[in-house]
């Protein structure tokens, strides 16, 4: 077994390694079940309180909560230890990525694919990719960092810092970009979504982590996360089933729609990675910091994007569909970039305390 293979085996569990396969199977199951039991899924869609679908809210919490327990705000004390990597991460994630994603969405959905997608659907898909672009990765970046043998402390600091920024920046950036692309922004629903799916789980995760550390230290946190992580995967897959149960008619009428949505997402993913990776190389950042700082911007917090898309536009919306396509393409894209990074680590210095 090669070094990269050993790292992959250590970093990715069975479900994570085959996540795209499970998502594809969940899509198939959703299409089938939606056609067999339309009244059942219509009843599920009606279980709402204040624009929040209750079954989906439970599923989203199952996805997000285990990740929030892993956020260590104590790591923010080390934010100045490797400032170069954090500068690259913050600039790419918050000043570049959301806007390039919106620009690519406009280019493809309003112009390149104008004859292939109805205008109202194009607008919905654009909203979905904007939500993906404004949500940088939280949990899976630990996996990608591990696969490149990244600096674990730096990775923890960058994730914690990004989560803090996300609490304050996600809603304004999403609202601005949706408004700039002529998509009506329901501010009350947007703020409710951020509170329900970012701030509240982050707070509950913090309390859980503090309680676990008081009882058994970091080992207790790791044990807890390993026990609840399967619920995160299950929550994701069941959410995908629900989404595609509602999207069945659209998908069967236009089976190429998933491939069309994937095009700007793929261009964005590879473009953002090489931008951040190139900046890290030009700045002399060592590989064990350069790799995770580039990968975090490439990967998305798709759980949050899915949750907000459902809250803002509904379970059967094109926006929700677009965010799920992001889940489908993410793992193979990220694994290809991990492999590229590992092959090019000789481009970077091995050690630099100011990175």
Give the pLDDT of residue 216: 86
Angle at 228 (CA atoms; ends 226, 230), nearest 5 degrees: 85
Torsion angle defined by CA atoms of residues 312, 158, 89 and 267, in that order, rounded to the nearest 10 degrees: -50
> Residue 155 pLDDT more than 60?
yes
**CA pair distance 66, 22, nearest whole angstrom:** 19
pLDDT for the residue numbered 238: 85
Q: What is the pLDDT of residue 10?
A: 43
Q: How far apart are CA 199 and CA 194, in angstroms?
A: 6
Question: For position 164, what pLDDT does the model report?
Answer: 82
Q: In this structure, what token pair is assigned to residue 163?
A: 């989560």
CA distance 150 to 155: 7
Sequence-distant (≥ 6) Cβ neighbours of residue 91 within 8 angstroms? none
CATH class of segment(s) 43-344? mainly alpha
More confident residue, 20 or 276: 276
pLDDT at 180 over 60: yes
State the maximum Cα–Cα separation within the chain, in Å, rounded to a whole number.
Answer: 60
Q: 44 pLDDT exceeds 90?
A: no
- Confidence (pLDDT) at 5: 38
Q: What is the pLDDT of residues 190-228, one digit of tens each?
A: 777 778 777 888 888 889 988 998 888 888 888 888 888
Q: Rounded CA gap, 237 and 233, in Å? A: 6
Element (H, E) at 173: helix 152-180
* Residue 240 scores a pLDDT above 70: yes
Nearest C-alpha neighbor of 180 from the set 126, 234, 228: 126
Q: Which residues contact 138 (CB under 8 A, 6 or more apart)?
A: 67, 68, 71, 159, 162, 163, 301, 304
Looking at the predicted structure, is the pLDDT value of residue 262 above 60?
yes
pLDDT at residue 2, rounded to an integer = 36
* Average pLDDT score over residue span 132-158: 79
- Asked if residue 142 has pLDDT above 90, the reply is no
Distances (CA, A) of 111 to 119, 217, 317, 324: 10, 54, 21, 23
**108 DSSP 8-state letter:** I
Q: What's the pLDDT score for residue 223? A: 87
Cβ–Cβ < 8 Å for 309, 243: no
Segments making up each domain of the chain, as ranges: 43-344
Three-state secondary structure call for residue 113: coil
Average pLDDT value for residue range 45-57: 73
Q: How many helices, marked H, and strands, marked E, lie in the chain?
A: 16, 2
Closest CA to 59 of 333, 319, 324: 324
Contact status, residue 277 vs residue 297, Cβ threshold 8 Å: no
Average pLDDT over residues 161-179: 86
* Percent of residues, the chain, with pLDDT higher than 70: 88
Residue with tokens 């069975």: 14
Q: Are 122 and 113 in contact (CB under 8 A)?
A: yes
pLDDT on residue 279: 95
Distance of CA 284 to the CA centre of its chain: 28
pLDDT score of 290 more than 80: yes
- 192-195: which pairs have CB atoms within 8 A and are 24 or more residues apart? 192/50, 192/51, 192/52, 192/311, 193/307, 193/308, 193/311, 193/312, 194/167, 194/170, 194/308
Local confidence band at 328 (pLDDT 50, 70, 90 cut-offs): confident
Tell me the whole-structure pTM to 2 decimals.
0.77
Q: Which residue has the tokens 């806007």?
A: 99
Q: Which residue is listed with tokens 């329900």? A: 196
Residue 273 has pLDDT above 80, yes or no: yes
- In the predicted model, is pLDDT for residue 3 greater than 80? no
């Amino acid at each position: 077994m090669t070094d990269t293979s050993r790292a992959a085996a250590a970093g990715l569990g069975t479900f994570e390694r085959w996540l795209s396969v499970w998502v594809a199977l969940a899509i198939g199951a959703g299409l089938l079940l939606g056609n067999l039991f339309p009244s059942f899924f219509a009843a599920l869609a009606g279980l709402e309180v204040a624009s929040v679908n209750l079954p989906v809210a439970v599923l989203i919490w199952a996805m997000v909560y285990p990740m929030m327990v892993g956020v260590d705000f104590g790591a923010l004390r080390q934010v100045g230890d490797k400032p170069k990597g954090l500068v690259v991460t913050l600039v790419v994630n918050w000043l570049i990525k959301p806007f390039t994603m919106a620009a690519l969405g406009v280019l493809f959905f309003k112009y390149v694919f104008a004859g292939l997608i109805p205008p109202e659907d194009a607008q919905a898909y654009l909203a979905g990719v904007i939500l993906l672009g404004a949500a940088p990765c939280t949990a899976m970046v630990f996996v990608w960092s591990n696969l490149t043998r990244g600096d674990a402390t730096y990775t923890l600091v960058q994730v914690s810092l990004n989560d803090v920024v996300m609490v304050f920046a996600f809603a304004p950036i999403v609202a601005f970009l949706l408004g700039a692309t002529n998509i009506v922004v329901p501010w009350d629903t947007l703020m409710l979504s951020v509170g329900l799916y970012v701030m509240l789980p982050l707070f509950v995760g913090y309390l859980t982590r503090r309680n676990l550390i008081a009882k058994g230290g970091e080992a207790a946190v790791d044990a807890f996360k390993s026990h609840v992580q399967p619920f995160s995967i299950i929550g994701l897959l069941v959410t995908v089933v629900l989404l595609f149960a509602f999207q069945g008619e659209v998908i069967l009428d236009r089976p190429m729609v998933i491939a069309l949505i994937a095009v700007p997402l793929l261009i964005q993913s590879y473009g953002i990675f090489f931008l951040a990776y190139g900046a890290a190389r030009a700045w002399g950042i060592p590989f064990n910091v350069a790799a995770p700082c580039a990968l975090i911007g490439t990967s998305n917090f798709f759980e949050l994007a899915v949750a907000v898309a459902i809250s803002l536009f509904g379970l059967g919306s094109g926006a929700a569909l677009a965010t799920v396509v992001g889940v489908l393409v993410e793992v193979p894209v990220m694994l290809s970039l991990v492999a590229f990074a590992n092959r090019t680590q000789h481009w970077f210095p091995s050690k630099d305390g100011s990175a």
